[in-house]
Structure 1
């Protein structure tokens, strides 16, 4: 059996190909054929790279442009992969159907040092990790939307049942934990997309501390008692002037320190949480009567990956906490000794003023406001159901359907609605594609987009408004009424 021939050296000639909206190759020049072969559009690309290339072609077929994408062509015989730089552009024909444009692909072979291939492999892996993280963030936002939605429905039921104050408090903690989870997901999305962080606001530390005590109650009360031990909690939460910061991040720091304190008291003990002021600074102290730290451990406590918990710890909790505190222009002080417990002291400068909000939240509609006829579109049954139930709570008449094609068919069959509420990410037809189709058929019908993406905005034409997941019912209700008014 003869060995497979190596790919020929390709001179710096432009590689060109034309594909239809499905990714089928319609035409290509000889340079393209020499590099990619004759087996379809991506014959010599590794499967993962071929998937990325196909996704870029589909994006271009929907009207977007994708440029400066690098791919590695497999070469037989153990030779280094051949790097190719490609650009994807839609071909907007006068009679072409929107979202189904042919795609022009062009590029060139790149010649780089031998170390280039390894670096590109690392870059591709990081890109894959980013894509996976964004997918997980999308799914997690859907789950949190359902959690917060059902919490809102439960709140309505508890009010009708005149539930005790304690039950209302547990529900509030559930909602707070889910909201903080959503904020953490947004931080991941913002980091991957290199977007700006959340806007800071004036924060009352004694309020944050009270919320954290409620959030962590299962860890310092329920779980220790299940194991037959007792952790006593002592608090002195004095009101202190506000600091400038992000509530979600500050709660994250305090929750981490409270959990560390509980873990440091395996036989039980006392957890203390206090707030105070000193000169122009706000102070929060979290203390325990646990095992304490040696001086050498105390000095290394904030080092990345350093942990005394063995495989049970990541060594990043205190590192991240210190980073958040420093981002708030504060500092962490630690006092500890073996057998005498540990005290963490967080020191923050007072806020010099509250920044103006970037945008005002829509006001809730009056209780007597008339309901609207709404069509809710989502391919996730759990999210679709809870969204519909919440809107019905506000007096709206809701019809729910599974996906964009079903929405178009329902309206074609004669359903009359005042507005459409649709998810953005759906497999057969995205929310924006549905909005574009509705714009052509029903020019005056407003469309509201629900999305967990941080960078999604209304385009002023097809989409009237965007509400981010997980949403608050007041915001969703007020926005729907505004666009349908």
Structure 2
């Protein structure tokens, strides 16, 4: 006991210290003469100790717990405590032995390790984003400069513009996925969803690529659907279709030599439905399996963004579901997803709106980025709207007058007076003007209530396409 590295303390039935070894002196900074006779609860938190003692009194021979001790210490100590019961001849509790280890340094190392892991993950995230956008910018910048060198080659300029547009769309899709992953972009409303129909829709989306692979590689690829009779779930059809498409494409990539993909559904009535996606592909090692849901982690090299499976995980969790993966090298992989069944109907998908006649609008446009302001101005004017462009919230507020405009479209993140502040000032002078927001930042969950309070008609997310922008203006005009 004297040479033990851990504090060993004997405790009387009255919970007073009776024995105190040298390690206890080091841990608590008390000599034996100072400690013996004191209540053990002077050193260990009363709640943790009382709970452990109760368990021992009920017959548990030993109980361990971790706690933080602050009493009489210059700084909090993290302690690992094991209490053992000392029983007399008749089985009564005649005392306790407490073995105490100071784990403060260990917990500090673990904390630093977790922080290091977070920084590493952040670095991977930033590196992945930089990688994807540098590739897209290479295409955009390269073709833009080539078009400047060959402005009279109409065919080349047309092809180049298509590539530039496709690169920009890819970039906006990457941003959308990141914002949805970070919950900075609102999702569509939950409706009743038939997961079997989601499977059929995803298969239809993927089928051209599936058939192209078969024709190109001349290797067998079989798809088997084993869809049972299942209940509906509450969900977002577009998000679930994206989830299913990603899982099928992931399985397709995992079978370079061909194989079989099996998608099955089954129902546990009244509780949940289970969706299983199994491939006979290359499988994965345990080190890979543990990381496949991390953003930007990919085993596909240049061919993979590393966002597909992280989006799958995010979508499953937002639907209250669970996902697990079983896989071994050369033995394929099985993804098992469970979703709670719909407890009650939450509505159906909205019917398509009837076509309506377009109307020109008088638009007050606010953005402090000159390039964005110029682009949005040209887009709106090209479809017949009258635009007053303002490069700041203060300038826009000075230009505003009740009755002068039909719609106000303002950026959110601006220097000086931001979009929120501009909208609040505007509402004080005109409670009825239609206000639209546009942002590249995204929206936090707590900001949706603020949108309702200010009666913001809609929030658009950059980059916005001309048709989407005009549709938002037309929707605003129709609501007046």
**TM class, shorter-chain normalised?**
0.3 to 0.5
TM-score by length of 1: 0.45
* TM-score normalised by length of structure 2: 0.46
Structure whose CA Rg is larger: 2
